Amino acid sequence: MENNKSMRNWLEAFQLSHPLVIAGPCSAETEEQVLAVARELKDSDVSIFRAGIWKPRTRPGGFEGVGEIGLKWLQKAKAETGLLLAVEVANAQHVKLALEHDIDVLWIGARTTVNPFAVQEIADALKNTDKIVLLKNPVNPDLSLWLGGLERLYNAGIKKLGVIHRGFSTYEKTKYRNIPEWQLAIELQSRFPDLPLICDPSHISGRRDMILEVSQQALDLNYDGLMIETHCNPDKAWSDAAQQVTPDALKQIFIDLKIRKATDDADDYNQKLAGLRAQIDEIDSKIINILAKRMKVAEQIGLLKKEKNVAVLQSTRWHQILEKMIEEGEQKGLSEEFILKLFKAVHQESISHQEKVIREK
C-alpha cells in the first residue's frame, strides 16, 4: 500500500477546526431512540452519526442488532439533521444494504479484521467505491493483520481509507476493557502518516468515566478523531451500556478536551526540545548498555545451570523479582502496568540467552 497525501483528502474535506467526531448509540434499538440521539447531536461537534445495525455477539441468544430496518431509521435521522451516517459491516450482504441506503461511512469491526477472507469479501463488494471505509484493529495485537486488511481495501480501489484504534483483548486484569497498546497504533501512524487515525475510547475503556482520559491521550498522540458511543439513556442501552455517554456528557467532554498544536516554531521551544531530546538519547543509550550487561550475567547463570543440570525457568525467583520491581517502580512514579510489560520482556530475553548458552556445546 502506497503512502500519499491523498489519503487525507476525505478528512480535510470536512474543513474542521477540531478533531473529527463520530458519535451515536452502540446499537440502533428503535426509530425513536435513533432520532432522539441524532437530534441531540445535531448542534455539536459531531460530524458523523454512528449506530450498530448488525451486532456480532460472542455467544448466541444476545441482541444481535435490528438489521435492515435500522438503516431506514438512519436515513430519517440524516434527512432531519444533515449528519453523515456510519455503520459497521461484516460481510458482502451488509455492504450491499448499506450502499442501497446511502450510508456514507462503513467500518469493519475488530472481530472481522482478524479474518482475511471476510475482509476480502467486503473489499470486493466495495470495489472502487467512493465511500469512506474505516478499518478497526484486529482483536489481537497483530500489526501485520491490521496492515493486511488495509492493503486488501486499498487494492480494491478504495481511496477514502482510515483506521480506528479500539484496543486489544487481553486475559490480564487491567483498568481497560481492551488494552490500548498505543505503540502499535503509533507504529502504524509512523508507517503511513497520511492515513487518518481515529480512536475509539468507548471500547478501549469499557467505562464512561474513562472516556475523557482516553480521548485526551489519543489527541495528545496526534490522532485525527474520536468515535464515542452515545445514548440518551445509557443505563437502559441494549448493548454495551457501561461504556456509553449521554449527549450532554459528550458535549462536556468536547469542552474539557485540550487540543494540542502539532508543533511550535518558536526558537526557545525548539532549543529546549532539542536539549531534552539529547538527554533522552543519552539515557536510552545507557539503558541499552545496561540491558546488554544484564544479558551477559544471564548467560553466566545459564552456564552454571547447564553445569549443574538445573532447569532454566525458576518461577519463584521470577515472581520475587517482579514483586520487588513493581514496588520500586511505584516509588519512582512508574505504573504497575509499565513495569509488568518491561520486566516480562526483559525476563523473556534473559531466558532466551540462557537457553542459547545451554544449547551450545
Domain covering 267-359, topology: Chorismate Mutase Domain, subunit A (1.20.59)
Q: In this predicted structure, what is the pLDDT of residue 33?
A: 98
Question: Dihedrals φ, ψ of 319, to 5°?
Answer: -70, -35
What percentage of the chain has pLDDT greater than the value 70? 100
- List the domain boundaries for the chain: 5-256, 267-359
Residue of 227, 320, 163, 253 whose CA lies nearest to 23: 227
Q: In this predicted structure, what is the pLDDT of residue 361?
A: 62
Mean pLDDT of the chain: 94
Homologous superfamily, domain 5-256: Aldolase class I (3.20.20.70)
Q: In this predicted structure, what is the pLDDT of residue 5?
A: 80
Q: In this predicted structure, what is the pLDDT of residue 174?
A: 86
Cα separation, 4 vs 19, whole angstroms: 21
Cα separation, 245 vs 264, whole angstroms: 34
Average of per-residue pLDDT across 256-279: 86
Greater model confidence, 271 or 121? 121
pLDDT at residue 55 above 70?
yes
Question: Dihedrals φ, ψ of 234, to 5°?
Answer: -55, -40
Taking only the tens place, the pLDDT of each residue in 144-191 is 999 999 999 999 999 999 999 999 998 878 899 999 999 999 999 989
Assigned C-alpha cell, 182? 498505543
Q: In this predicted structure, what is the pLDDT of residue 360?
A: 86
Greater model confidence, 313 or 164? 164
Using a 10 angstrom Cβ sphere, with 0-12 exposed, 13-18 middle and 19 or more buried, the burial of residue 241 is middle
**Within a 13 Å sphere around the CA of 24, how many CA atoms are in the beta-carbon half?**
30
Q: What is the β-pairing status of strands 84-88 and 105-108? A: parallel
Using a 10 angstrom Cβ sphere, with 0-12 exposed, 13-18 middle and 19 or more buried, the burial of residue 221 is middle
Tell me the whole-structure pTM to 2 decimals. Answer: 0.82
Helix axes of 92-100 and 69-81: crossing angle, nearest 10 degrees: 40
**How would residue 240 be classed by pLDDT, with cut points 50, 70 and 90?**
very high
Average of per-residue pLDDT across 296-321: 91
In contact, 245 and 229? CB cutoff 8 Å = yes
Cα separation, 224 vs 208, whole angstroms: 21
Per DSSP, the residues of 251-269 read HHHHHH--PPPS----HHH
Taking only the tens place, the pLDDT of each residue in 79-129 is 999 999 999 999 999 999 999 999 999 999 999 999 999 999 999 999 988
pLDDT at residue 257 above 80?
yes
Using a 10 angstrom Cβ sphere, with 0-12 exposed, 13-18 middle and 19 or more buried, the burial of residue 281 is exposed
